[in-house]
Amino acid sequence: MWQKLKELFVSKDEQLEEQAEQSDGAVQEVAVGGDFNVMLRRDLAPAFRADGFSGSGRNFRKVNEHWIAVLNIESARAGNGFALNLGLHPRALQDVLGKEVDPKKLKVQLCEFRTRLPSQNKQSWWQFDATEASMQAAVAQAREDYIQSCRVQLSRLSGSHSPLFNANVDDFAKGDYDFSPFQGADARIALVIARLHQHQGRGKEALAFAHYGLRHVGNSVGLRRDFEALLQLDAS
């Protein structure tokens, strides 16, 4: 499980760039017709817009003073289903490749926090057959699952009082935190929190998370370098 979570949050730069490029436009070559796209616009997109997202087609973004949230509708290659990918990124930080962020263009794959929302069957895909009734049922269920499993949690994480802003290293070390619906490698999350503390002028807290991260970084050369850079900034 550690390796799976690590791969989710610490992907290679070239893999992320390729994925981000492939998701641009977000409509893959699949066998879903215009009726399905109409259903998305009519039945699913309004739930996103009710939460402050803007966009069209398969990509939606929500930007506030502190955070950028990104939603992407991904079609199954076989044309018989779709998934909802969600990303959350602090506006104060560069993307996962270390590049400056354009809030209007940020992709899910380049956000610090990323997940695929769980569907009712826990497989993260809402499946349907070629009938209109089946498509309608899948879209309606996706809407309900988004509202039930994401709406409140995303609002809590992306607000001005986000628990990510106030995380305590002792609680974090004990696993006493809830950043759902996102999960990831502790070391990567510790790096993000350390950078947030540093940005907000809380040097002591940033230092504590940097030291924690170094103790749990494993074999990641890149993460070790990032934590050491934080410690050097504090020393200067």
* pLDDT 10s digits, 68-104: 999 999 999 888 999 999 999 999 999 999 999 999 9
Label residues 58-77 b or e (16+ Cβ within 10 Å = b): bbbbbbeebbbbbbbbbbbe
Q: Which helix (H) or strand (E) holds 126?
A: strand 126-127
Among 130, 157, 184, give the residue marking a domain's end. 157
pLDDT of residue 176: 92
Q: pLDDT by residue (tens digit) across 183-221?
A: 888 999 999 999 999 999 999 999 999 999 999 999 999
Range of the domain at 69: 12-157
Q: Are 138 and 159 in contact (CB under 8 A)?
A: no
pLDDT of residue 11: 43
Among 157, 189, 217, give the residue marking a domain's end. 157
Is there a single domain that holds both residue 48 and residue 144? yes
Is there a single domain that holds both residue 173 and residue 153? no
Mean pLDDT value of segment 105-132: 88
Give the pTM.
0.84
Mean pLDDT value of segment 100-126: 89
Residue 33, domain member (yes or no): yes
Is there a single domain that holds both residue 153 and residue 176? no
Among 107, 126, 157, give the residue marking a domain's end. 157
| The total number of structural domains that make up the chain | 2
Residue 164, domain member (yes or no): no
Residue 7, domain member (yes or no): no
**Mean pLDDT across the chain:** 86
Q: Which of 22-31, 173-182, 217-226 has the lowest mean pLDDT?
A: 22-31
Is there a single domain that holds both residue 18 and residue 44? yes
Residue 141, domain member (yes or no): yes
Report the share of the chain in percent with pLDDT over 90.
72
Is there a single domain that holds both residue 186 and residue 148? no
Is there a single domain that holds both residue 97 and residue 61? yes
Is there a single domain that holds both residue 183 and residue 153? no
Residue 223, domain member (yes or no): yes
Judge whether residue 178 has pLDDT over 80.
Answer: yes
Residue 1, domain member (yes or no): no
**What token pair was written down for 85?**
């990918």
Is there a single domain that holds both residue 197 and residue 138? no
Is there a single domain that holds both residue 176 and residue 149? no
Residue 200, domain member (yes or no): yes
Residue 39, domain member (yes or no): yes
Residue from 56, 24, 60, 53 nearest 42 by CA: 56
Cα-Cα-Cα-Cα torsion 102, 6, 161, 177, nearest 10 degrees, comes to 170
